[in-house]
Structures are given as structure tokens and as C-alpha cells.
Structure 1
Amino acid sequence: MKESLPVLLKKNLQHIPIGKYEITNYSGDDNDTIISSSHITVEMDNRSKGQMEDFPLFTGIELLFYRFLGSKVYSRHEAFEHVIEINYCQDGSMGWNMNNGTNIYLGAGDLSIHSMTRCANSELTFPLHYYNGVSITIDITRIATTLPEILKEAGVSGQNLYQKFCALPKPVFVQQNNKVIQIFNDLYNAPCTMKTAYYKLKVQELIILLLSMDVCEEKIVNPYYEQQVNLINEIHSLLTQNLEQYFTIDELSKKFFINTSALKETFKSVYGAPIASYMKEYRMKKAMELLRTTDYHISEIANNVGYQSQSKFTAAFKDITNLLPSEYRRLNR
């Protein structure tokens, strides 16, 4: 069975102590040379850790890869009005409680753009307890005289980037645009040699694509506010603490006084999947834990995670893991 991303992240970050953040800085030349690597202490919850790789691509333009395990980290920096930040979620999900009380949630394939004045002294949460994503920063004061020729020919300037994406009353949020997803998939599958050169090519392609978009025609998702997010978290607690019960959307809507459309949309944005899909996977993860750590009969485990029929549980388990429950237990004991 292919290992899940959280399992792979745990392996890749196991050398980083809890509460620490590893920063690796690259030279920005085509040799992909590491010039420094260090562990620093940042403000996060006491079970989190993270990793950042920083590639300076051009004067004023940087590409950063982020990996987090845990549930919360804080971002403390100056309010850089002149720096544009593009954030993309490759895997997992991220909630961003910005300093004006606005919450933005990125699920896999989602992208947001804003000036870094919006995210100074902000809180990042990871509802799935992991995050794998990319940030691109563009300092519009530094690129004024050093913009790459390809971007110049495309009509890109710091001023038109700022006016399009940062002069709006709220951050721009583009949900699962296929062309954007393809570019970031390419970044994650860059050739092992000449990575920096490849990154330069793809980031320029992304900037031109974003500037060509009609923001009004894109699917722009409104930010979520703290009260709405807290309500969704309450619903999540009810669902995950009562696995033996099944709640319909209508029942949840009436119980928590939220309309069904807002419930479905906000839950997916916060937790990265529709309620039914999320809960099926959650039940299977709980079943995997019980198979690994207890001697319960499979029918008992099925009942514990909400399946009265062992055959239906077995089918659901195999759909998620490609293994029968008995096979999974044998391989993981």
C-alpha cells in the first residue's frame, strides 16, 4: 500500500525536534547549492514542527516550499505593504486567521494572493494536522529595475501586479484552477538537476498566467469569519466524537442553525473534503488505529466506527487502504 502523505511527512521531518522549524537556504544559482541550514524556535503549539526551503530566483522574487506537522503556528513579521505573497496548498489544508479578523482556508489546489501587510501577526491552523505548500514572494520595489526580460515582454510590472491583486478590499482566492494546479505539480516534479533554473521558468509562467486572469470571472471564494469557522469546528467535534452515529446534512443544519449550502462549502474549505468523504476516511483511520493497537474482533471495530455490517465495513476499508482489515492488522502488528 502506498504510504499516505502524513506518514511520509513524519519520516521526512523526524530529524526535526518538536517545536522547531528547519530553514534551508539555497544560493539561487543553477547548481542548487545549500548555503545554510538551521533549526530555529518559532511560536507554535507544543506538538508541531516544520520545514522551509528558500530558493531566491530573481532579485525580489523568492520561492519557498513549506511542510508542517501539527495544528498551529504563528506568523510574526513586519507589515510589508510592498511585498506580494502568493500561497498555494499542494496537500492538506490551512486556515489563516489574518490580522483584520478574516479567515481564509486553503484546501489542496487552492491559491491566495495578498500583500504581506495583511498577514503580519497572524495565526495559521492546519485542520488535518499537516500541510504541504508553496509561497512565492514578490517585492515590487526591488523588481522595478531588475525584472526578467520574459516578464517585461509580457507587460508585467510591480505596479500592475499590486493593483490587480492587492488593492482589493480582501485577498484574492482562486479555487482549483486547472492551469494553476498544473504549474505547481510541475514545480513539485522538477528534474533533480538544475532545479533552480526550472523553478525560474515555472514561476514566470505562473506570474504571467495570474496577471492574464480576469479576477472577476475566476471562482473567488469569500473569506470565512471566526464565528462561522468556530461553528464548523463544533460540527466536526460532534461528528468525530460520535462515530457510532450518522448525521444528515439537514440534521446538522437544523441543530447548528446554518443553511445547508454554507455548511457544505465551509466544512470542505476548512477540512479539505466534503463531510461524507471526510468522515469515511476519518472512520477508516480510527479503524486502522484499533487494528494496530488492540485485539478487538473486526466486527467490534466495525461497530466502534459506525458500521453495523462487517461486510460493509470491510468493503469501505478496502476502498481506502486497498487491504482487507485482517491483512492490514497482520502487516502492522
Structure 2
Amino acid sequence: MKLVQNYHHVVYRLNQDKGQGTAAVYSVLPGVEVIVFNFQASHYIPPIYPNLNILELNHCDEGRAGCKMKDGCLQYIEEGDLFMNTMSNRSNYIEFPLEYYKGINIIIDLDNLTSQLGKYIPDIPIDVQELANRFFLDDECFFIQVKEGIHHIFSSMYSIPLEARGTYYRLKVLEILIYLYYFDTAKEQQNKLYVRQEVDIIKQIKKMMTEQIDHRFTIGELAKQYCISTTALKTTFKGVYGVSIGAYMKEYRIKKAALMLLQTQKSIGDIGLAVGYKSQSKFGAAFKELYQISPHEYRNKHDI
């Protein structure tokens, strides 16, 4: 569904079965689109491009995205990462483990831009087809993990005023191509690929823990119950959700408690017990660590 359309961009509302999002599409150069995504959803099904000779650049600003690629590899994009792939190894399903995501996707039609790029960068002999081939010598996708140069390029793309975005994004795409032209691919260590079976187990574990929030599971207990090594459990959980099991559940418990403070009349002690804190003082300290105020102050602040 289109929300906005003018001469340089279109904004679409993307309704998912679990959540929604927007995609603002800017045509900035011959064969080049910049798409700004903003999701409050569990997943996104990207469109199918008939032309496979397309370079796709994905920058994550907020949240996390899990991409199952056509070649079977499973990659997780963290905040600040730049993930590159071609349409011959595209993802047909992108999940958002934290159920929110903000990022920029740059689609480059290599056939179209190659013949036009010299008009915009006459002094640097960039052949975008050769550039793409250099990044995909050993694989069909490439990760550039958080770097100051990437942050410098992308950070302002999220905050520039709407009326300037068309022109500004054109300049930024050219800057990105120059950055990639001089990038040393041999020095960039690639992200770990995750085994689908282990990821599925981690999702089952997360579901069980959040449904039984009053129980505190140990790593050994979870590993034994789900027949997974403790190392794989800890590594894969952090790969999918970005933090350790302990950190994830601590924040989940406190946020759940915050909702209960606003939506119920239960005592603070009972709410602490309901989210797995037998000690009210430990619950209060954990709550204050996240919200900077006590549970009592939080409830009073919202007039409950």
C-alpha cells in the first residue's frame, strides 16, 4: 500500500501477518535504489527481482536481521554491519529476532550502472561489475562488520531531512562505491555461519524460557534438555539475539514486570516473583538498572 509518492521517492506500508513496517524507496542513479526500512515485525518477505545481476547492500541501524540465503547459509546482521550479496544468492525470508528493525538497503543493477558511473565519478575507474566480483570470489555474500568508515557513511542517511534525501542519497551511494573500491577484502574476517538446526533449537529454548518466566533455567539444564552442547547453546543464542541468555532474560523479565506494573494492581513483591525474582531487593535493583527509577516510582510516574 502506497502512503506517499512524489517525483523522487515512494513510501510503502508493508503489512505482515505479525506486525508492520514502512519502506521508503528512492531512485538515485541509473539502476540504483535506496530503500529505508522501518519495521515493528517478526519478519519480512522481500520482493523477487527477475534480474540476478544485482548487487544488494544491507546496512543495519537498529535491531537485528537474520537472512537465510539461497545457498543455505544463515547470517545475522547486527547494528552497524554492512551485508552484501547478489540476487543469485538472495534471501527470500528475513526474520527480526528482536521484532524491530531499522536499516537501509541499496539495490544496484550492475548492468545498468556500469555504463553510466563514469559520468558521476570521472576520475576513479570504478567498474561496479568487477568490484562486485572481487567481494564474492570465495562466497556469494560478504560481511563488513562495524567500522568507523561504514558508520560515517550511513549514520547521516537516517537523519537527513526528507526534502534533501534524493540528492543526498545519490552522493552517499557514490561515496559507498568509492569506499568499496579501495576496501581490502582479504583483511575482513567473515561472520560465523549458523546451522539452521541449532538456530531452531535456540528459538525453542527462547520460547520456553519466556513462557516460563518465573523459572530460572541453567545453561546445563537447557543443553541437556535440548541435546545441544553448552558451547553451541551460548554461541548460537548470542548470534541470534545479540546478547547472552542471561542478559536477554534479565531485560525480558524487567520489561515484562514494567508492563505488569502498568496493567495490574499486583504488589511489587508479587510482580517480582512472577518474573523470577524471589528477592524484592534484587528485583528492585535490576529494575532500576534498566529504567533508572524504582518499580514504585515507575508505577507512580504513570499514575497507576
TM-score w.r.t. structure 2 length? 0.88
Q: Which amino acid aligns with 1:110?
A: D
Maintained 8 Å contact 1:26/1:53: no
How many angstroms does 1:164 deviate by?
1.9
Q: Say which of 211, 216, 241 aligns to 1:271.
A: 241
Tell me, in whole angstroms, the C-alpha distance in 2 between the residues paired with 1:152 and 1:258: 55
Call closer, same or farther: CA 1:191–1:51 in 2, change over 3 Å: closer
Q: Could you list the runs of 5+ residues in structure 2 that have no partner in the other structure?
A: none
- Cross-structure match for 1:27: 7
Q: Say which of 64, 75, 99 aligns to 1:129.
A: 99
How many angstroms does 1:283 deviate by?
0.8
How many angstroms does 1:89 deviate by?
1.3
How many angstroms does 1:140 deviate by?
0.8
How do residues 249-260 of structure 1 correspond to structure 2 at under 5 angstroms? 249-260=219-230
Maintained 8 Å contact 1:53/1:66: yes
How many angstroms does 1:55 deviate by?
1.3
Maintained 8 Å contact 1:106/1:270: no
For the pair 1:301 / 2:301, whether they are aligned, the reply is no
Call closer, same or farther: CA 1:39–1:235 in 2, change over 3 Å: closer
Call closer, same or farther: CA 1:211–1:262 in 2, change over 3 Å: farther
For the pair 1:141 / 2:111, whether they are aligned, the reply is yes
- Cross-structure match for 1:108: 79
Call closer, same or farther: CA 1:38–1:115 in 2, change over 3 Å: closer
How many angstroms does 1:313 deviate by?
1.3
Maintained 8 Å contact 1:253/1:263: yes
**Pairs aligned (count):** 303
Tell me, in whole angstroms, the C-alpha distance in 2 between the residues paired with 1:177 and 1:257: 37
Q: Which amino acid aligns with 2:104?
A: V
Q: Deviations over 1:139-170 (max 9, x none)?
A: 11111221155645333212222212345434
Tell me, in whole angstroms, the C-alpha distance in 2 between the residues paired with 1:260 and 1:293: 37
Maintained 8 Å contact 2:57/2:106: yes
- Cross-structure match for 2:158: 188
Tell me, in whole angstroms, the C-alpha distance in 2 between the residues paired with 1:274 and 1:150: 46
Q: Which amino acid aligns with 1:140?
A: L
How many angstroms does 1:224 deviate by?
2.1
For the pair 1:91 / 2:62, whether they are aligned, the reply is yes
- Cross-structure match for 1:172: 142
Maintained 8 Å contact 1:51/1:68: yes
Q: CA RMSD in A?
A: 2.5
For the pair 1:236 / 2:216, whether they are aligned, the reply is no
- Cross-structure match for 2:190: 220
Tell me, in whole angstroms, the C-alpha distance in 2 between the residues paired with 1:135 and 1:79: 18
How many angstroms does 1:255 deviate by?
4.0
Q: Which amino acid aligns with 1:225?
A: V
Q: Which shows bigger deviation, 145-154 or 212-221?
A: 145-154
Q: Deviations over 1:202-236 (max 9, x none)?
A: 33222222332222321311332321210111221
Maintained 8 Å contact 2:13/2:23: no
Q: Deviations over 1:79-128 (max 9, x none)?
A: 532110001111111122233433222122222111122226x1121111
Tell me, in whole angstroms, the C-alpha distance in 1 between the residues paired with 2:284 and 2:301: 16
Tell me, in whole angstroms, the C-alpha distance in 1 between the residues paired with 2:181 and 2:232: 30
Tell me, in whole angstroms, the C-alpha distance in 1 between the residues paired with 2:5 and 2:189: 35
How many angstroms does 1:302 deviate by?
0.9
Call closer, same or farther: CA 1:126–1:152 in 2, change over 3 Å: same
- Cross-structure match for 2:44: 73
Q: Which shows bigger deviation, 67-76 or 79-88?
A: 67-76
- Cross-structure match for 1:119: 90
Q: Which shows bigger deviation, 294-303 or 68-77?
A: 68-77
Maintained 8 Å contact 2:13/2:21: no
TM-score w.r.t. structure 1 length? 0.81
Maintained 8 Å contact 2:64/2:76: yes
Maintained 8 Å contact 2:45/2:93: yes
Q: Deviations over 1:6-37 (max 9, x none)?
A: xxxxxxxxxxxxxxx55645534xxxxx5x55
How many angstroms does 1:261 deviate by?
4.1
Tell me, in whole angstroms, the C-alpha distance in 1 between the residues paired with 2:214 and 2:86: 45
Maintained 8 Å contact 1:80/1:115: no
Maintained 8 Å contact 1:61/1:139: yes
Tell me, in whole angstroms, the C-alpha distance in 2 between the residues paired with 1:154 and 1:262: 46
Tell me, in whole angstroms, the C-alpha distance in 2 between the residues paired with 1:99 and 1:317: 43
Q: Deviations over 1:147-200 (max 9, x none)?
A: 155645333212222212345434112222232123221211225652333222
